[in-house]
């Protein structure tokens, strides 16, 4: 600030990194943001922030940004700068040609969890109204789609059940497959504060994270399970709760389907789920399983927090249902301090799912086959809508390779880097005749694009993001769009080029349409959000100021549904050639594939991805701290530096996935969650060997 001078004005907005949803005051001089100050009235951060939100906004003005639309006939041609009008007219002409030639279902769109709710809503509307199909999907496909399936099936809605504030009334935290210290730092601080006040924590994670042991924090129990055994450990915990009669019968009889509970209780009571048998599968101590189950069930208010270490598995949806089963069985749902809480990785994963960007659901998680729901949109949009679910991202790519899918509009997502099986993604993209990438930078996916539309950062738009506690936060335009249009405006221009009569003048009008058509949002207006700062959905006539805690006085589904969670080992097996299991995560200073964080001025943040190796495994292979190692799997290999540490157990290696140069995801498999096709990023059989470097 000293260098840049004093700010001339400030604008309150919302961080565009993780799902905590911190509010900031952006201080501006001219058209440049010179400082981001944590906003003391922010309801999810109360004046706190982490380094990313506070300092990593320089990407907005980075010279890599593409500010002009570009076209090329073939992906081997050089790019040619064109006007917006030419780019949009070309795209519309190509999309219509493709549909004429290959059929209505031959094109589709992908929305982003980085964009606002209003932008996501418009992309799914463009696909449904303009393309005439349901081929819309979101990058949540590769992270929290199992949360959608699992929580919907058991509780009747897909969202975290409690608010961040109520962690202050939690006595026992069950943290599984998440590392909030690095991935959700501001909420992690609140968890730690509560732990210092006397709450206890059970950590289920193959790795010894900070919440297992760090200054002033010592977990009550750490279960360092073998990667891929979440369902087994959750069923093992349930076995103890049921066989020791630690469940809350009064709660279950009042709020859950008793028959389903009895069926589930019989299933989990089977001796093959005893702590001793579970211990053999998961590689942890039987007595610790028993003690952890007793603590969660009987230790007071129990709250579950989980992350991608639960969802990105071949049984991701099953594990989410296993968590809901535990919460319902112990009555740990529907009041302050308890619940089941997915910690969302990206700023607007919750919102992108809420806004109907799945191929089978309209906004508000309503199936496209439901006539009464389809009629709402048909009446409003003036077209007949398809009642068949559309293609998911992996199915779009399969269909492209098969020759039936030929055009795609991708807003704010780099599927070549973030989706599994890079070779297959590349083959699918290469087979298409019109790939439109709408983004800030020429990302990896843009190598296969025919049209590039410049995107806008969160600083250049109005709208809303929804955080992990269902909080609808306002995003305020801080500076004018650097490439003429905010993303919602660009999508609107594309819709108009396709002949649709869209006339939104501000995102508040898009939210009005969302509210008019989506019961859980029916009370939301920008005026309300300005007045209240933010509200949590459901926000409607029953809850005009929103709903901090869900499932009070009854579960949204009607009665809670217990589901059998049979453990099925992943097909990804260790063996003589690949004897170690790789799992992955994040570090505090980086974000996803680093497209934003690596484009900030602070070079100290540009730490490389390291491969954590247990000292025994390192010694066996002659690997020392800092050495280059070759990491190979059945599908591919990459090279990283070794970090020898007992944070990981023998037989497990761990790395982050922030750098395109190391591309940890190139070694992962193409196994996916059985229900949602979410990739199994968290378990890969690998071998490591000394290397001379990349
Ligand atoms: Fe942004 Fe998340 Fe950090 Fe808050 S905790 S400042 S939302 S990255």
Q: What is the pLDDT of residues 338-374, one digit of tens each?
A: 999 999 878 899 999 999 999 999 999 999 999 999 9
pLDDT tops 90 at residue 522:
yes
Residue 624's Cβ-side half-sphere holds a number of Cα atoms within 13 Å equal to: 1
Q: Is the CB of 185 under 6 A from ligand 1?
A: yes
* ipTM over cut 0.90: yes
Nearest residue (by CA) to ligand 1, atom 3, is 50
Q: What is the pLDDT of residue 492?
A: 98
249 versus 693: which is more confidently predicted?
A: 249
Fold of 145-342: Dimethylsulfoxide Reductase; domain 2 (3.40.228)
Pocket test for ligand 1, best of 19, 44, 185 (most atoms within 8 A of CB): 185
Q: How far is the CA of 19 from the centre of ligand 1 (A)?
A: 7
pLDDT band at 684 (very low <50, low <70, confident <90, very high): very high
Q: Is the CB of 597 under 6 A from ligand 1?
A: no
Atom of ligand 1 nearest to the CA of 45: 4
Total count of residues recorded for the chain: 694
Pick the CATH number of 9-61 from 3.30.1960.10, 3.90.320.10, 2.20.25.90, 3.20.20.70: 2.20.25.90
Q: How far is the CA of 181 from the centre of ligand 1 (A)?
A: 11
Nearest residue (by CA) to ligand 1, atom 2, is 18
639-679 residue pLDDT tens? 999 999 999 999 999 998 766 666 677 788 888 998 888 88
Q: 275-282, long-range: CB within 8 Å, 24+ apart, which pairs?
A: 275/236, 275/239, 275/240, 277/236, 278/232, 278/233, 278/235, 278/236, 278/239, 279/236, 281/226, 281/229, 281/232, 281/567, 281/569, 282/223, 282/225, 282/226, 282/229, 282/232, 282/233, 282/236
CA distance 374 to 633: 45
394-418 residue pLDDT tens? 999 999 999 999 999 999 988 888 7
What's the whole-model pTM score? Answer: 0.93
Tokens of 225: 């399970």
Please give the full DSSP string across 526-543, using - where no structure is assigned: HHHHHHHSEEES--SSS-
pLDDT tops 90 at residue 587:
no
- Between 316-325, 417-426, 549-558, 624-633, the lowest mean confidence (pLDDT) is in 417-426
Q: What is the pLDDT of residue 603?
A: 55
pLDDT band at 604 (very low <50, low <70, confident <90, very high): low
Atom of ligand 1 nearest to the CA of 347: 7
Q: How far is the CA of 15 from the centre of ligand 1 (A)?
A: 6
Pocket test for ligand 1, best of 12, 13, 14, 18 (most atoms within 8 A of CB): 18
pLDDT tops 80 at residue 683:
yes
Q: How far is the CA of 478 from the centre of ligand 1 (A)?
A: 18
Q: How far is the CA of 14 from the centre of ligand 1 (A)?
A: 9
630 versus 596: which is more confidently predicted?
A: 630
pLDDT band at 607 (very low <50, low <70, confident <90, very high): low
Could you give the angle at the alpha carbon of 673 between the alpha carbons of 672 and 674, nearest 5°? 110
Q: What is the pLDDT of residue 593?
A: 66
Strand 471-475 and strand 534-536: pairing? antiparallel
Which residues on adjacent β-strands are paired with residue 630?
A: 639, 689
Atom of ligand 1 nearest to the CA of 186: 5
Nearest residue (by CA) to ligand 1, atom 1, is 53
Q: Is the CB of 22 under 6 A from ligand 1?
A: yes
Mean residue pLDDT of the chain comes to 93
Q: 312 with 262: CB under 8 angstroms?
A: no
- Between 158-162, 234-238, 660-664, the lowest mean confidence (pLDDT) is in 660-664
Q: What is the mean pLDDT of residues 453-470?
A: 96
Q: 433 with 440: CB under 8 angstroms?
A: no
Q: 232 with 278: CB under 8 angstroms?
A: yes
pLDDT band at 693 (very low <50, low <70, confident <90, very high): confident
pLDDT tops 80 at residue 592:
no
Q: Is the CB of 468 under 6 A from ligand 1?
A: no
13-55 residue pLDDT tens? 999 999 999 999 999 998 889 999 999 999 999 999 998 888 8
Q: Is the CB of 19 under 6 A from ligand 1?
A: no
Q: What is the pLDDT of residue 213?
A: 93
Q: What is the pLDDT of residue 57?
A: 87
SS3 assignment, position 425: helix
pLDDT tops 90 at residue 58:
no
Q: Is the CB of 178 under 6 A from ligand 1?
A: no
Q: Which CATH architecture has domain 70-139+348-475+483-506?
A: 3-Layer(aba) Sandwich (3.40)
**Domain boundaries for CATH 3.40.228.10 within the chain:** 145-342
Atom of ligand 1 nearest to the CA of 21: 7
* Residues ≥6 apart with Cβ < 8 Å to 77: none
pLDDT tops 70 at residue 289:
yes
pLDDT tops 80 at residue 140:
no
Q: How far is the CA of 17 from the centre of ligand 1 (A)?
A: 6
Atom of ligand 1 nearest to the CA of 49: 6
Query: What Rg do the C-alpha atoms of the chain give, in angstroms?
Result: 24
**Domain boundaries for CATH 3.40.50.740 within the chain:** 70-139+348-475+483-506
Q: What is the pLDDT of residue 98?
A: 98
Q: Which CATH architecture has domain 580-690?
A: Beta Barrel (2.40)
pLDDT tops 80 at residue 436:
yes
pLDDT tops 60 at residue 174:
yes
pLDDT tops 80 at residue 3:
no
- Nearest to 45, CA basis, from 31, 25, 28: 25
Q: Is the CB of 48 under 6 A from ligand 1?
A: no
pLDDT band at 215 (very low <50, low <70, confident <90, very high): confident
CA distance 115 to 458: 8
Nearest residue (by CA) to ligand 1, atom 4, is 22
Q: What is the pLDDT of residue 401?
A: 96
Q: What is the pLDDT of residue 236?
A: 98
Q: How many CB atoms lie within 10 A of CB 634?
A: 15
**Domain boundaries for CATH 2.40.40.20 within the chain:** 580-690
Q: Is the CB of 49 under 6 A from ligand 1?
A: yes
Handedness of CA 87, 89, 90, 96 (dihedral sign): positive
Q: How far is the CA of 53 from the centre of ligand 1 (A)?
A: 5
Q: What is the mean pLDDT of residues 268-297?
A: 98
Q: What is the mean pLDDT of residues 538-559?
A: 95
Q: Is the CB of 36 under 6 A from ligand 1?
A: no
Percent over 90 (pLDDT), the chain: 81
CA distance 634 to 670: 11
Q: How many CB atoms lie within 10 A of CB 445?
A: 23
């Amino acid at each position: 600030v000293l260098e840049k001078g004093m700010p001339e004005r400030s604008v309150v907005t919302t961080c565009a990194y993780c799902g905590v949803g911190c509010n900031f005051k952006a201080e501006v001089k001219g058209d440049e943001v010179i400082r981001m100050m944590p906003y003391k009235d922010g309801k999810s951060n109360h004046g706190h922030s982490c380094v990313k939100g506070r300092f990593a906004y320089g990407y907005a003005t980075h010279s890599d940004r593409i500010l002009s639309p570009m076209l090329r006939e073939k992906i081997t041609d050089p790019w040619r700068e064109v006007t917006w009008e030419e780019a949009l007219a070309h795209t519309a002409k190509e999309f219509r040609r493709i549909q004429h030639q290959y059929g209505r279902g031959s094109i589709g769109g992908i929305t982003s969890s980085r964009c606002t709710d209003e932008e996501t809503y418009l992309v799914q509307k463009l696909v449904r109204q303009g393309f005439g199909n349901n081929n819309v999907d979101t990058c949540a496909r590769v992270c929290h789609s199992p949360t959608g399936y699992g929580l919907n099936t058991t509780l009747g809605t897909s969202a975290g059940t409690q608010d961040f504030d109520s962690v202050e009334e939690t006595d026992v935290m069950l943290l599984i497959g998440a590392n909030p210290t690095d991935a959700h730092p501001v909420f992690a601080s609140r968890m730690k504060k509560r732990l210092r006040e006397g709450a206890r924590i059970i950590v289920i994670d193959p790795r010894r994270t900070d919440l297992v042991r760090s200054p002033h924090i010592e977990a009550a129990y750490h279960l360092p399970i073998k990667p891929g055994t979440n369902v087994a450990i959750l069923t093992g915990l349930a076995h103890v709760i049921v066989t020791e009669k630690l469940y809350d019968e009064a709660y279950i009889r009042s709020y859950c389907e008793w028959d389903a509970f009895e069926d589930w209780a019989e299933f989990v009571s089977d001796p093959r789920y005893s702590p001793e048998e579970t211990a053999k599968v998961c590689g942890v101590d039987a007595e610790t399983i028993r003690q952890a189950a007793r603590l969660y069930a009987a230790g007071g208010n129990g709250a579950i927090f989980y992350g991608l270490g639960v969802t990105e598995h071949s049984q991701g949806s099953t594990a989410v249902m296993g968590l809901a089963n535990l919460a319902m069985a112990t009555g740990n749902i529907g009041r302050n301090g308890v619940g089941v809480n997915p910690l969302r990785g990206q700023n607007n994963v919750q919102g992108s799912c809420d806004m109907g960007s799945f191929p089978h659901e309209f906004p508000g998680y309503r199936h496209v086959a439901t006539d009464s729901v389809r009629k709402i949109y048909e009446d409003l949009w003036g077209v007949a809508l398809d009642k068949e679910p559309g293609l998911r991202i992996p199915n779009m790519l399969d269909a492209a390779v098969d020759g039936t899918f030929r055009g795609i509009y991708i807003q704010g997502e780099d599927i070549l880097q973030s989706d599994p099986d890079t070779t297959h993604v590349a083959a699918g993209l290469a087979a298409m005749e019109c790939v439109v990438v709408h983004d800030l930078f020429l990302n990896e996916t843009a190598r296969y694009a025919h049209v590039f539309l410049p995107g806008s950062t969160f600083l250049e738009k109005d709208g809303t993001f929804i955080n992990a506690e269902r909080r609808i936060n306002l995003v305020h335009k801080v500076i004018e769009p650097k490439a003429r249009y905010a993303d919602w405006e660009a999508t609107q221009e594309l819709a108009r080029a396709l002949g649709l009569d869209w006339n939104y003048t501000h995102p508040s009008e898009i939210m009005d349409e969302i509210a008019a058509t989506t019961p859980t949002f029916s009370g939301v207006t920008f005026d309300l959000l300005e007045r209240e700062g933010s509200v949590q959905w459901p926000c409607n006539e029953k809850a005009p100021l929103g709903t901090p805690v869900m499932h009070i006085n009854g579960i949204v589904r009607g009665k809670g549904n217990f589901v059998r969670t049979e453990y099925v080992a992943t097909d990804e097996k260790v063996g003589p050639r690949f004897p170690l299991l790789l799992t992955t995560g994040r570090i505090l200073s980086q974000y996803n594939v680093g497209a934003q964080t690596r484009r900030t001025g602070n070079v100290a943040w540009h730490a490389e991805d390291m491969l954590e190796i247990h000292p025994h495994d390192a010694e066996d292979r002659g690997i020392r701290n800092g050495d280059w190692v070759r990491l190979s799997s059945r599908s591919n290999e990459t090279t990283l530096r070794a970090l020898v540490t007992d944070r990981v157990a023998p037989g497990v290696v761990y790395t982050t996935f922030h750098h395109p140069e190391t591309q940890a995801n190139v070694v992962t498999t193409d196994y996916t969650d059985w229900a949602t096709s979410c990739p199994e990023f968290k378990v890969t059989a690998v071998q490591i060997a000394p290397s001379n470097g990349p």
